[in-house]
Structure 1
Amino acid sequence: MDTTNAPQIIPHHIESVQYTPFAARWVPHSPRFVILGQLPRATGCLKIYEMEREKLKIVADTEKPAGLQCGTFAASPNESALIATGDTKGNVAMWDIDALSRPMWSCVEGHKGIVNAIDGCGGQNIGYGAPELVTGGRDGCVRVWDPRQEDAVVALEPVEGETPADCWAVAFGNAHNEQERSICAGYDNGDVKLFDLRTMTLRWDTNVKNGVCGVAFDRKDINMNKLAVATLEQNVTVFDLRTFHPEEGYAGRTEKAHKSTVWGVHFLPQNRELFATCGGNGQINLYKYSYPMERKRKDPDNPSLEKGVAGTLELLNQKDIATQPIVSFDWHRDKLGLSCMACLDQTVRVVIVTKLDTF
């Protein structure tokens, strides 16, 4: 790997904390970011940090009854900054970061046990459609929420009588108009399931052989294009979602990203061909996806069908950032290359990646 002209991954701020941070999210259009975590007494903490020249400044700090496991601003309307959270007792809530004393909306015990993952759609990200949330829990359930209603609008539950697999990751995609919505869910047994919310059907499922720690569409608000899946045992797979084969499904490319668990995969908002992976070894990898000359070809066994052709992955650069897993990472949507992250070595970090405009 020649890194002479590659993007440089530069640590900018580091803050040691006295709690376990689980999620880091930039406040939209702001130099502030939110850290969600758990205090030693098993209560939750929500802290808002603001970047200053030489340090990070805490501008809000509140304690909640249960540890906060995950969060997203992706269903927040333009005129305000609302963060949706999931906690260790199964509660789902939405908070105004300027009034954190009580939630604007909540569902007590939305899941039985920990809410492992949350994502949002609508609101400021795509500019149309109702704001929606999707959550995945230890109970194996995937639920879709409309914050204007009390109960889940969709519940995708394990088959009765079977031992449920933990749902570790969820993501919205295919939201290219007001009607279309898809969600992807990843499970601890390696299952990846793609659900179409408009038709209420399972669109596709596969198994990637290892527990799925993170899933991400390259963009929420376009026709499905690429899906990245991060797993245990160091793998990241990128599927091309434009061509579906009835027997083989979607074509994918797998890369060994770290010598440890890949905790997440995160596409750059300004360039959907670039993405970062976060390792259990505290490392950040930066990849570029390149499309093949032809993204589909005829099936030689059945010329009436077409197969997808996966692209290639190029490792642009990597850097050891922390001494323990990087469990959460978020790119800033307005400042190219600016990112925040939560690490299990009890640190909160801001990192800058340079030269991204040249790729």
Structure 2
Amino acid sequence: MSLEKPQIIAHIQKSLNYTVFDSRWIPCSAKFVCMGNFARGTGVVQIYEVQHGELQLVKEIEKAKPIKCGTFGATSLQQRHLATGDFDGSLNVWNLEVPESPVYSVKAHKEIINSIDGVGGLGIGDGAPEIVCSVEFDRKDINMNKLVATSLEGKFHVFDMRTQHPTKGFASVSEKAHKSTIWQVRHLPQNRDIFMTAGGAGNLHLWKYEYPAQRTKKGADDVDMGVAGSVNLLQNVTLSTQPISSLDWSPDKQGLCVCSSFDQSVRVLIVTKLNTV
């Protein structure tokens, strides 16, 4: 094991008494939320705070329907409202200080909401929640730059979104990264060329995208087309025998992240040497 590379360290691990589907850092804090469902069929949101190397349960909220996903992306950094999608197809926005009833609620889908994202909290206006599925742009506060999409067969694709050819579309690079479904991809907020993928075999892979010398070239029809870069594997680690269902980087502390797995555990991780790659 080379110590020159970034290391992925499991800092804290906590077993939970429910199936956890998603975990998200609360902006501007040392707290995160876990969302899932109890065996009795109800939904749960737990708020944890990292204190002196341990996790302290701050609040537990039980809801009628299991909660599949959540995001703080649809709110301002002052409000920090949590938007959730549940098994019943309802999209709810919660004030976690007063969580008895949602501040906004809509029947968004007929069935389960599997994934949710938003574009608020950027200082450029609040965004409406947007439903997406295991894809992520590298940044939300600039023109389209890069998009990573993960798939069932263990492969992911990085698209250069700056140049779209009329027939060939966007340039992309693909990588067979895992031996099973890639459940999640998350870009490092402090360096959007670094991203982590979470796999169905309980492993995490840390990647860096390298841009080509030139991002566009003239095609045979003399029309601009994109040129894909390459991806380099920086580090990988196996944390569980079960799929890692969620992953979220801390927006405030580089290298700090939280992930949850179907082994009914939540883990706080520290990734080192990210400023040297």
User: In the alignment, is the contact (CA less than 8 A) between 2:75 and 2:126 conserved in 1?
Assistant: no
- 1:115-150 deviation per Cα after TM superposition (whole angstroms, max 9, x unaligned): 11111112x2x2123431012xxxxxxxxxxxxxxx
Does structure 1 residue 30 correspond to structure 2 residue 67? no
| Offset, 1:82 | 0.5
Does structure 1 residue 238 correspond to structure 2 residue 165? no
| Offset, 1:224 | 0.4
Q: How many residues align?
A: 277
- 2:128 maps to 132
- 1:348 maps to 266
- 1:114 maps to 112
Q: Distance in 2 between matches of 1:247 and 1:348?
A: 44
| Offset, 1:339 | 0.2
| Offset, 1:76 | 1.5
- 1:336 maps to 254
Q: Tell me which of 314, 318, 324 is aligned to 2:232.
A: 314
Q: Which amino acid aligns with 2:129?
A: L
Q: Distance in 2 between matches of 1:86 and 1:69?
A: 6
- 1:280-326 deviation per Cα after TM superposition (whole angstroms, max 9, x unaligned): 011010001000011111102x11x1111100000000001122111
User: In the alignment, is the contact (CA less than 8 A) between 2:11 and 2:53 conserved in 1?
Assistant: no
Q: Give unmatched runs, 5+ long, in structure 1.
A: 136-169, 171-185, 187-213
Q: Distance in 2 between matches of 1:121 and 1:321?
A: 30
- 1:160-201 deviation per Cα after TM superposition (whole angstroms, max 9, x unaligned): xxxxxxxxxx1xxxxxxxxxxxxxxx5xxxxxxxxxxxxxxx
- 1:89-108 superposed matches below 5 A: 89-107=88-106
Structure 1 stretches of 4+ with a deviation exceeding 6 A read: none
Q: Which amino acid aligns with 2:271?
A: V
- 1:167 maps to none
- 1:37-70 deviation per Cα after TM superposition (whole angstroms, max 9, x unaligned): 0110111000001112242111000110000001
- 1:239-286 deviation per Cα after TM superposition (whole angstroms, max 9, x unaligned): 001111111100100001111111111110000110000010110100
- 2:276 maps to 358
| Offset, 1:91 | 0.8
User: In the alignment, is the contact (CA less than 8 A) between 2:76 and 2:126 conserved in 1?
Assistant: no
1:70 match: secondary structure: strand
2:275 match: secondary structure: helix
- 2:49 maps to 50
- 1:218-254 deviation per Cα after TM superposition (whole angstroms, max 9, x unaligned): 0011010000001111101100011111111001000
Structure with larger RCO (C-alpha < 8 A, sep 6+): 2
- 1:150 maps to none
- 1:166 maps to none
Q: Distance in 2 between matches of 1:30 and 1:331?
A: 12
Q: Distance in 2 between matches of 1:31 and 1:341?
A: 15
- 1:40 maps to 39
TM-score (norm 1): 0.76
Q: Give unmatched runs, 5+ long, in structure 2.
A: none
1:132 match: secondary structure: coil
| Offset, 1:4 | 3.8
Q: Distance in 1 between matches of 2:80 and 2:217?
A: 45
Q: Which amino acid aligns with 2:182?
A: V
1:255 match: secondary structure: strand
TM-score (norm 2): 0.98
Q: Distance in 1 between matches of 2:68 and 2:203?
A: 21
User: In the alignment, is the contact (CA less than 8 A) between 1:3 and 1:317 conserved in 2?
Assistant: no
Q: Distance in 1 between matches of 2:4 and 2:187?
A: 21
Does structure 1 residue 227 correspond to structure 2 residue 147? yes
Q: Distance in 2 between matches of 1:312 and 1:4?
A: 23
1:356 match: secondary structure: coil
User: In the alignment, is the contact (CA less than 8 A) between 1:3 and 1:316 conserved in 2?
Assistant: no
User: In the alignment, is the contact (CA less than 8 A) between 1:92 and 1:106 conserved in 2?
Assistant: yes
Q: Distance in 1 between matches of 2:2 and 2:199?
A: 19
User: In the alignment, is the contact (CA less than 8 A) between 1:267 and 1:276 conserved in 2?
Assistant: yes
| Offset, 1:99 | 1.2
Q: Distance in 2 between matches of 1:62 and 1:251?
A: 45
- 1:76-95 superposed matches below 5 A: 76-95=75-94
Cα pair distance change 1:239/1:3, threshold 3 Å: farther
